Amino acid sequence: MDSVMVNVQGIVNRFGSQLVHDGLDMQVQRGDVFGIVGGSGSGKSVLLRTILGLRRPQAGAVQLSGQDITTLNPVALRAAKAGYGVTFQHGALFSALTVRENIQLPMLEHLRLPLDVLDGLAMLKLRLVGLPANAADKYPSQLSGGMIKRAALARALALDPPLLFLDEPTSGLDPISAAAFDDLIAYLQHELALTVVMITHDLDSIFRTCNRVGVIVDRHMVVDDLARIVDHPHPWIQSYFHGVRGRRYAPPAPSTGVPHGT
């Protein structure tokens, strides 16, 4: 079985004269929780849209589970989208639909099941992400920010995909809710054997959930294990992981073995 779930090769994205990605490479292995970080304007969202097949790059290829999605026609691309789930930064729930109906949208697109079965599956997904049963018939406007994130996650998991993409999953959440969402992602990744790719600027999320990190710098991507990426010499990477916000994650200085006051 191929262990590479996401294989990005030589991606070039350009908007007019603005070059965003210039031969960007990225590989995500089966079972990874892979964090994507980068400065403002580095093209994190553009990369995600490219990986999801929502944007055709000027050059390069994207393979999801071995299938090159950059060459698929619209019908084949629609079928390929059943193999991954995605949540967007602000949830992207349809405001005119209830939570239950939002969760059922991928099922209606890709499955042919009776309504009572769809209802049962939607309730299972609700429980999976920690939402109460009475959330099913609420509209997005009636939910808190944390509940919207969880409802969007339930929809992303509607078809039991092996691959999950998260766009800024904890943005807008208070620290307690963000930590709880990180814990939920880690739990679901383990229990469902998911491969997770997340765009985030949240250092807490990176250190709680990710085992590998890709940093977009200079229109390319630097990829390494979390334990090693923090020591990469690139100035932006050093500033990100060792700046004021990152200092709390630095390992303690080694003890000299000399008692204080001697």
Task: Quote the CA–CA distance of 164 and 162 in Å, as a whole number.
Answer: 7
User: Are the beta carbons of 148 and 173 closer than 8 angstroms?
Assistant: no
Question: What is the per-residue pLDDT for 179?
Answer: 94
Total residue count of the chain as it appears in this document: 262
Which residue type, as a one-letter code, is found at position 48?
A: L
Q: What is the CA 158 to chain-centroid distance, rounded? A: 16
Q: Is the pTM of this model over 0.75?
A: yes
Question: What is the per-residue pLDDT for 249?
Answer: 56
Is residue 90 helix, strand or coil?
A: coil
What's the token pair of residue 147? 């509940």
Question: What is the per-residue pLDDT for 256?
Answer: 42
Question: What is the per-residue pLDDT for 112?
Answer: 87
pLDDT means per 10 residues, the chain with 262 residues, are 87 94 96 94 92 92 90 86 87 90 92 90 95 95 92 95 94 91 95 95 93 96 94 93 64 43 42
Question: What is the per-residue pLDDT for 259?
Answer: 44
Contacts of 154-157 spanning 24+ positions with Cβ under 8 A: 154/99, 154/103, 154/122, 154/125, 154/126, 154/128, 154/129, 155/85, 155/87, 155/93, 155/102, 155/103, 155/105, 155/106, 155/125, 156/85, 156/86, 156/87, 157/85, 157/125, 157/128, 157/129, 157/188, 157/192
Under CATH, to which class is 4-248 assigned? alpha beta
Closest by CA to 110, choosing from 65, 145, 79, 155, is 79
